[in-house]
Structure 1
Amino acid sequence: MRFLPQPSAWTDPLPAAAPPADMAVHQVPTGTYETRAAFAVRGGSFRERRHFAATAVLIRHPEGDLLIDAGFGAGVAAHVASLPRIARSPYRVEATVGRQLDAAGYDRARLRGVLLTHSHWDHVSGLDELRVPVWMTAGERRYAAEDPDGKVFRAVCADHEIHEYAIDGPPYLGFPAGYDVYGDGSVVVVAAAGHTTGSVIVFVTVPSGRRYAFVGDLTWQLDGIRRRVERPWLMRALADSDPAQVRRDLLRVIALADLMQIVPAHDRDAYQGIPRLPGLPEPAADGDAAGRPR
């Protein structure tokens, strides 16, 4: 099996960050869908089944909260039915982000918007219950408006405000530029335009000093980081707009792996240690499939 070259570990000082004392990060799992490991990561087995996470992340900040992605929505069955048959797989659902926020007694007036890592269906389905602005770059907005894989986005966001932002700040952790959301270094977005033409990575630093890299679909599983492997060739060809750019950005993130928690969007294990919303139970174990997504 072909492994990516081992990049040199990041040795420069980490960027300055001053997260407010009451800032927090929570995972909001909304379900999983099933695929074979052979389709998830290079070298994976056809016999092994992987349960891909559909999980949003809530960033609580005194200047207003943001969600990273939106997970499965109330209309997930219709969203799945709109996919090509080859793109569907068994799935199970939990409560949507909106319902979990309400169950936790969350004040939705605090929510400034949903910051998308990219616009594929399993990252935007939950926008059907979240009437807040959608944060995305101009490049991802064009992709979502034109690409066949933006069909669900166009359906759920027809009446949403789109908040475009530009990634035009100083270089950040080996990436050419960053966008400092709050101006305090706690949340910095970088371009990773290989999976889609406007995909991003969201770096988050919490008051304890712990750092996270929410990498979206740069790699679907932690194997991509730990074993330095890409998606299988066929999946790179089908799923990525620019596989070579994905490879370059994957190597940049691998170089940071000893300094922060890397969180591929679809690896359930990657969310370990990130608390759920206060007062909500831990996710249920996987049971019978409830239907079929991508």
Structure 2
Amino acid sequence: MTGIKKYIAFVTLFLVSKTYSQGIDYNDALLSKIRIASNSVPGKFASEIHYIKYAESPRTFAATVDGGDEKPYIQARTAYQLIYPDGTVMIDAGMDKKVHEFFGQGKVQPYFPSANDSIQKALLQAKKIIITHEHGDHVAGVLRTKHYKELAPKTIVTVQQMHTLSTKPQMPELKIDSSQWNDFDVVDFYDILPVAPSVVLIKAPGHTPGEIMVYTKLANGKEYIFTGDVSWSYIGIEEKKQKPAGQIKRIGENAEQIGFELNWLNQLPAKGIQLLVSHDDIVQPELLKKGIIKKGLQLN
């Protein structure tokens, strides 16, 4: 890493803490702006969204959404794939078993190695990889793999995500050093950023400083937003309920920011947008049955 690059990385790390908490207006004007921006990258739109579950964390609704009861709730660990005529784009990257065990906190939880192997193959063939946020179940598949040198250059990460991974990672296994900033496609933007035909990143800090949501419109005209971890369930969005207070404290979430995002997401289905909640394991199987998303990743 050259001296000037080290200096730029240092200045970026210093300044980012002053910018990631910026206020974004989540309203109809933002949606209009996203829809316009989705046409700014030339190329044919994706035709399908594929989905895979590679692990589970058994919990309860009480541990998932504020005011929930003790009924079981499976927190699915997932990744998504956009299918284009000339390639694919991956959204999130899975994780290895060691990182999975971190989430179990000493308890053995279901992990599907063959599904994570499929994610690794899909990442290798993808034209781009988008990371919704800095937590291990979303980014470890790029950071902790023998294919790191092949995957990192096509992985889009925000300055805020890199800042977290550099200075305050969720676990030691995710920590990166300043030289690795050059390995990735690092982007910085205020509220939205188009990155592929009809794919727009949306800043959504709160769960983590670098959380983003992802908008896409398929060739058939249907619109989707991948909501990341703004909520862990569709119920949280439908009822505009945040995570339980204990989880908010444990994670270090910014509840005020998440509140604005939940209010906005709650309105979007009425505007024709299908939400895709990463950790849901109740509604997403129904979406599979209806053919709204496809099961399994498309591999060459």
Contact (CA 8 Å) 2:231, 2:242: kept in 1 or not?
A: yes
Question: 3-state DSSP class of the match of 1:91?
Answer: coil
Question: 3-state DSSP class of the match of 1:96?
Answer: helix
Partner in structure 2 of residue 164 of structure 1: 186
Give ranges in structure 1 of 5+ residues lacking alignment. Answer: 1-7, 169-176, 281-294
* CA–CA separation in structure 1 for the residues paired with 2:82 and 2:136: 21
Partner in structure 2 of residue 114 of structure 1: 129
Partner in structure 1 of residue 50 of structure 2: 26
Decide which of 238, 241, 245 is 1:229's aligned counterpart.
241
Which whole-Å deviations, capped at 9, do the CAs of 1:126-183 have from their partners, x for residues lacking one? 334454123210011101222241433238xx97932111224xxxxxxxx311112x
Partner in structure 1 of residue 266 of structure 2: 254
Query: Which residue type is aligned with residue 164 of structure 1?
Result: V
Query: Which residue type is aligned with residue 44 of structure 1?
Result: G
* CA–CA separation in structure 1 for the residues paired with 2:259 and 2:86: 35
* CA–CA separation in structure 2 for the residues paired with 1:63 and 1:57: 17
1:60 and 2:83 correspond: yes
Partner in structure 1 of residue 294 of structure 2: 275
1:15 and 2:35 correspond: yes
* CA–CA separation in structure 2 for the residues paired with 1:66 and 1:162: 16
Q: Give matches, 1:149-188, under 5 Å.
A: 149-154=170-175, 161-168=183-190, 177-182=191-196, 184=197, 186-188=198-200
CA pair 154-112 structure 1, distance change in 2 beyond 3 A: farther
> After the TM superposition, which of the residue ranges 227-236 and 19-28 deviates more from structure 2?
19-28
Decide which of 115, 119, 122 is 1:96's aligned counterpart.
115
Give ranges in structure 2 of 5+ residues lacking alignment. Answer: 1-25
* CA–CA separation in structure 2 for the residues paired with 1:113 and 1:150: 25
* CA–CA separation in structure 2 for the residues paired with 1:202 and 1:245: 17
* CA–CA separation in structure 1 for the residues paired with 2:50 and 2:274: 14
Which whole-Å deviations, capped at 9, do the CAs of 1:70-112 have from their partners, x for residues lacking one? 2233xx1x224456x7x4554212223443675xxx6x66413
Task: Provide the identity percentage.
Answer: 20
TM-score by length of 1: 0.74
Contact (CA 8 Å) 1:56, 1:68: kept in 2 or not?
A: yes
1:123 and 2:138 correspond: yes
Cα distance, 1:117 vs structure 2: 0.7
Contact (CA 8 Å) 2:50, 2:298: kept in 1 or not?
A: no
Q: CA RMSD in A?
A: 3.2
Question: 3-state DSSP class of the match of 1:268?
Answer: coil
Cα distance, 1:44 vs structure 2: 1.0
Aligned length: 253
Query: Which residue type is aligned with residue 118 of structure 2?
Result: R
* CA–CA separation in structure 1 for the residues paired with 2:108 and 2:252: 22
* CA–CA separation in structure 2 for the residues paired with 1:51 and 1:275: 20
> After the TM superposition, which of the residue ranges 206-215 and 233-242 deviates more from structure 2?
233-242
* CA–CA separation in structure 1 for the residues paired with 2:101 and 2:124: 32
Higher helix fraction (1 or 2) = 2
Question: 3-state DSSP class of the match of 2:156?
Answer: strand
CA pair 201-30 structure 1, distance change in 2 beyond 3 A: same
* CA–CA separation in structure 2 for the residues paired with 1:279 and 1:202: 20
